[in-house]
Amino acid sequence: MRLWFTVLGVVAAVSTAGAQPSTVPADGGDIVITPLMHASVQIEHDGLVIQVDPWSAADLSEAKPADLVLVTDDPGHHLDPDAITQLRKTGAPVVLTAAAARRFEGGTVMANGERATVAGVPVEAVGAYDMTPGSPYHPKGEANGYVVTLGGTRLFLAGVGECVPEIQALEDIDVAFMPMNLPVDRMRPRPVAECVKTFRPSIVYLNHYDQTFASWLGTREGAPPPDRQDTLGTIQALRDALEGEDIELRDAAWYPPRLR
């Protein structure tokens, strides 16, 4: 336990250092993807920086100022006004949902299904919601996923929810960021695998898969919880479910190491 408290003094820094940037080919140069924490990710291309769901629980000391900020939902680990203020370039647009706009003024609201070019980037808002009853429930229309096109490469950043028809109808997606285990009886490995098979991205980044730890990060009360969901085994189950498919799964270490 003492090791954890020592680590937790720099927990965000440890997580960011463990998540190394990776690249995706695109016209005009590679897209550089740097996971930060949970759903928070930095995306760079040809001098442009996009910050998605920036969160102060991550180590943002080396994160780059954003030309565009995308916010998928309004809970604190998606919408963090302090993190947005820290990372946003002066005047840079912040695209968010109507619910998030109630807590952050000056953003550009996009509803499910809307399209716009923001900071020179084509952006499409995709529905993110649940179809299965039960708590926590994500209603239709309150959250977004986003498709952004950079150098001819299309990236889908899924919001939290199930594999809704809007996701299954996506076309020409090269890279997808997919959440898992929220809650555990919905988007577990096989449903996530079946979902990505419907629109067949070339690369999948798995994120937003340790809600228990993310919830602890929001409070920092007591010791961090042990990993009771067997995160490594769950990720392996997703790999197994995608075996034989022409889909590369990238688990990019969105969290620091956990006690088992």
User: 97 — phi, psi (to 5°)?
Assistant: -90, 165
Task: Kindly state whether residue 86 falls inside one of the protein's structural domains.
Answer: yes
Give the model confidence (pLDDT) of 203-253 as tens digits: 999 999 988 888 888 888 888 888 888 888 999 999 999 999 999 999 778
Mean pLDDT confidence for 115-126: 98
The pTM assigned to this predicted structure is 0.91
Domain that holds residue 243: 2-251
Task: Kindly state whether residue 91 falls inside one of the protein's structural domains.
Answer: yes
Give 257 or 231, the one with higher predicted confidence: 231
Instruction: Look at residue 229 in the predicted model and tell me its pLDDT.
Output: 84
CA 116 to chain centre: 20
Name the 3-class secondary structure at 153.
Answer: strand
The percent of residues above 70 in pLDDT, for the chain, comes to 91
Instruction: Look at residue 9 in the predicted model and tell me its pLDDT.
Output: 40
Task: Kindly state whether residue 259 falls inside one of the protein's structural domains.
Answer: no
Mean pLDDT confidence for 93-114: 96
Scored b (16 or more CB within 10 A) or e, 3-25 reads eeeeebeebbbbbbeebeeeebe
Half-sphere exposure of residue 195: CA atoms within 13 angstroms, side-chain side: 24
Give 255 or 194, the one with higher predicted confidence: 194
Report which DSSP code applies to 211: H
Give the model confidence (pLDDT) of 134-165 as tens digits: 888 889 999 999 999 999 999 999 999 999 99
Task: Kindly state whether residue 102 falls inside one of the protein's structural domains.
Answer: yes
Instruction: Give the C-alpha separation, 260 to 258, whole Å.
Output: 6
**Alpha helix (H) residue ranges in the chain:** 2-8, 11-18, 81-87, 98-101, 165-168, 189-199, 211-219, 231-241
What is the average pLDDT value for the chain, to the nearest integer? 89
Instruction: Look at residue 258 in the predicted model and tell me its pLDDT.
Output: 64
Q: Which of 12-16, 19-23, 229-233 has the lowest mean pLDDT?
A: 12-16
Give the model confidence (pLDDT) of 179-202 as tens digits: 997 777 789 999 999 999 999 999
Task: Kindly state whether residue 257 falls inside one of the protein's structural domains.
Answer: no
Instruction: Look at residue 19 in the predicted model and tell me its pLDDT.
Output: 66
Q: Tell whether the torsion through CA atoms of 220, 215, 242 and 166 is positive or negative.
A: negative
Mean pLDDT confidence for 117-133: 95
Indicate which CATH number applies to the domain containing 116.
3.60.15.10
Instruction: Look at residue 5 in the predicted model and tell me its pLDDT.
Output: 33
Task: Kindly state whether residue 49 falls inside one of the protein's structural domains.
Answer: yes
Q: Which of 67, 12, 14 is nearest to 40 (CA)?
A: 12
Both structure tokens of 21: 């940037």
Report the domain count for the chain.
1
97 close to 72: Cβ distance less than 8 angstroms: yes
Mean pLDDT confidence for 41-59: 96
Task: Kindly state whether residue 75 falls inside one of the protein's structural domains.
Answer: yes
Q: Which of 224, 229, 225, 228 is nearest to 6 (CA)?
A: 224
Q: Residue 143, class by beta-carbon neighbours within 10 Å (0-12 exposed, 13-18 middle, 19+ buried)?
A: buried
Does residue 7 register a pLDDT over 60? no
